[in-house]
């Protein structure tokens, strides 16, 4: 997060990286979970081996500057790399040593957020939240709801004739857990949730459109780094569900209150309009 909020959000750093390097990032979790291909993992291991063989720093959160022959030129731990005053002189010195020639950015910049591809019947939500002290960037999650799940925003799962009802607790957890901005422990873990609830009530509407108000809350105990006491996390949300003529809900939620320890945060969850969703069907057509 320090890199993302700091140097990688700084215009001058971004410009320098784009002009002098081919930038790439890799998640250690994706490597460990097997999400990356064999060639990708092997290349990463080769790069890290190159660093170690030269007596350079090596580890899970580093910036490696790698020459075109895939030998490491130098390495900087993220604790230093996240400080622009250390990062920029380092980048410049390595660029001079390698005699790099600045030029236009090679890979066109595009959004790093990857909207999941939906299967027929699924509903996509986007959740964002950020601490109000703005010491961190906002987090941006996608939530996919199956039909049996989003139908709970249209009618009671127990009795369709009920005017007011509670969302199933597991579904409430699945959604509300994302209204949680980054903190030292970023793990989204159901087991730490003390309680989660969401309730729908009919709203008075002027026209034929059916609307429901949502209220809800989630409480969890968040373990922080070793030596620090767990901090309580508490969110209260409000929102509106509009049930379209196709029977699908359009969901808008916002935090009414969000606290984590002594910090406050804001967040929201919105359903994505069908025309803005990437479907599995569309993806396979475009790949042909």
Partner 1 sequence: MRQFVALLFVTLGSQLAFGQLADGYLETWLPKRIQDLESRFSARPFDSVGWADTIVQAAELAKICDRPIFLFTLDGHMDTGRC
Q: Are 275 and 198 in contact (CB under 8 A)?
A: no
Output 59 or 121, the one with its CB closest to partner 1: 59
Q: Find the shortest distance in angstroms from Cβ 200 to partner 1.
A: 10
Closest-CA residue to 248 (of 116, 174, 150): 150
180 near 188, Cβ under 8 Å?
yes
Instruction: Candidates 56, 224, 268, 272: give the one binding partner 1 (CB under 8 A).
Output: 268
Which residues between 106 and 135 bind partner 1 (CB under 8 A)? 106-114, 128, 130
Note the maximum CA span of the chain: 73
Does residue number 96 form part of the binding site for partner 1 (CB under 8 A)? no
Considering only 80, 117, 192, 199, the residue that binds partner 1 (CB under 8 A) is 199
Is 56 one of the binding residues for partner 1 (CB under 8 A)?
no
Is 283 a residue that touches partner 1 (CB under 8 A)? no
Binding of partner 1 by 286 (CB under 8 A): no
Residue 100 in contact with residue 145, Cβ under 8 Å?
A: no
Strands across the sheet containing 210-222? 139-145, 123-131, 263-271, 249-260, 231-243, 210-222, 193-202, 165-166
Tell me the Ramachandran region of residue 227: left when phi exceeds 0, alpha when psi lies from -120 to 50, beta otherwise. Answer: left
CB of 120 to partner 1, least distance (A): 25
Cβ count near 131 (within 10 Å): 20
How many residues bind partner 1 (CB under 8 A)? The answer is: 88
Among positions 222-251, residues that touch partner 1 (CB under 8 A) are: 236, 238-240
The token pair at 125 is: 């939500």
Q: Does 213 bind partner 1 (CB under 8 A)?
A: yes
Return d(Cα 176, Cα 258) in angstroms, integer. 11
CB of 119 vs partner 1, minimal distance in Å: 21
Considering the complex, state which of residue 35 and residue 148 has its C-beta at the smaller distance from partner 1.
35
Q: Is 33 in the site for partner 1 (CB under 8 A)?
A: no
What is the three-state SS of 33-48? CCCCCHHHHHHHHHHH
Tell me whether residue 70 or residue 148 sits nearer to partner 1 (CB atom). 70
CB of 52 to partner 1, least distance (A): 14
Q: Measured from the CB of residue 40, what is the shortest distance to partner 1 in angstroms? A: 5
Identity of the residue, 109 or 121, whose beta carbon is nearer to partner 1 in the bound complex: 109
For residues 267 and 258, the answer to whether their CB atoms sit within 8 Å is: yes
Q: Which of 8, 56, 154, 243 binds partner 1 (CB under 8 A)?
A: 8
């Amino acid at each position: 997060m320090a890199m993302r909020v700091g140097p990688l959000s700084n215009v001058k750093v971004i410009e320098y990286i784009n002009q002098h390097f081919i930038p790439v990032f890799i998640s250690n979790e994706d490597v460990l979970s097997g999400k990356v291909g064999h060639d990708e993992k092997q290349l990463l291991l080769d790069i890290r081996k190159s660093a170690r063989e030269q007596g350079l720093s090596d580890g899970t959160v580093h910036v490696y500057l790698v020459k075109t022959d895939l030998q490491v030129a130098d390495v900087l731990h993220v604790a230093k790399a996240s400080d622009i005053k250390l990062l920029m002189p380092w980048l410049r010195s390595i660029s001079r040593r390698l005699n790099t020639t600045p030029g236009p950015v090679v890979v066109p910049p595009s959004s790093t957020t990857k909207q999941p591809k939906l299967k027929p019947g699924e509903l996509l939500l986007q959740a964002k939240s950020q601490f109000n002290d703005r010491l961190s960037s906002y987090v941006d999650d996608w939530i996919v709801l199956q039909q049996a799940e989003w139908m709970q925003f249209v009618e009671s799962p127990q009795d369709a004739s009920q005017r007011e009802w509670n969302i199933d607790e597991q579904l409430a957890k699945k959604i509300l857990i994302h209204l949680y901005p980054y903190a030292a422990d970023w793990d989204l873990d159901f087991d730490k949730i003390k309680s989660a609830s969401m309730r729908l009530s009919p709203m008075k509407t002027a026209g034929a459109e059916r609307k429901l108000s949502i209220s809800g809350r989630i409480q969890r105990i968040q373990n922080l780094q070793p030596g620090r006491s767990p901090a309580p996390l508490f969110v209260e949300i409000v929102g509106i569900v509009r049930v379209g003529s196709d029977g699908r809900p359009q969901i808008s939620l916002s935090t009414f209150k969000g606290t984590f320890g002594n910090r406050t945060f804001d967040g929201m969850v919105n359903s994505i309009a069908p025309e803005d969703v990437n479907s599995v069907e569309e993806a396979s057509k475009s790949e042909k």
